[in-house]
Amino acid sequence: MTKPIFRHDIPKAKLWTPLDRDAVLRKIEAAGRTCYASEPGSSIDEAAEFVRRLVRKGHESVLEHESASFLVTCSRACSHQLVRHRLCAYSQESQRFVRHGEDKPLEFYVPPAMEADQRELLEEICNIAALNYWLALPVGRPPQEARMLLPNATVTRLMVTANLRQWRHMIRQRTSPQADAEIRELFWAIGEEFQRVLPEIFGEEER
């Protein structure tokens, strides 16, 4: 049995799609100008300003012409919330077929803000769950049976793809003060990455 790993450094989001700012702006500009039967600007600065105006006016349907993928690492509790956004494509690490053991230890998320006594209790519960998981995995038995013993704190990984309009919608919803702390942290990270590569579209989202 391998000792489980307790992680405080998640959630994490890695932008997987190589977004070319100029190409994205040109595509969205072309979509927007199709709506208004206007000619494209002669420079990328004109395209950027046109896209900013579309976003400010709420003409966000044109953003659906471009998509982006993120590789997300979070707890199962967080992923259960994430997959409720149906206008996305998801590929999630399988608990049916991935067998945790010596080469792949179980990982559990422990919220950094959790009180010390609660953190100790959570780690104790996760240690017990890990032990029972490994006891339920005799040679030849499928992990889909043992997975029933794992808590929502178990770390998972997903590839998430959505169009830019949907990403903006999710960022607005999931960075709300009413959102759960873990998914809020996840979407702040996603929003900051978008701000870095596409400030014309995501620049008004401030932490």
Q: What residues are labeled active site? A: 174
Question: What single string gives the DSSP state of each residue in 127-170?
Answer: HHHHHHHHHT--TT--HHHHGGG--TTBEEEEEEEEEHHHHHHH
Q: Tokens standing for 73?
A: 């690492």
Helices (H) and strands (E) counted in the chain, each on its own, are 8, 6
CA 116 to chain centre: 27
Helix axes of 21-36 and 44-57: crossing angle, nearest 10 degrees:
60
Angle (nearest 5°) at CA 111 between 122 and 101:
60
- Residue 203 is classified by DSSP as T
Are 174 and 183 in contact by the 8 Å Cβ rule? The answer is yes
Are 157 and 92 in contact by the 8 Å Cβ rule? The answer is yes
Partnered with residue 92 across adjacent β-strands are 158
Q: How far apart are CA 37 and CA 45, in angstroms?
A: 20
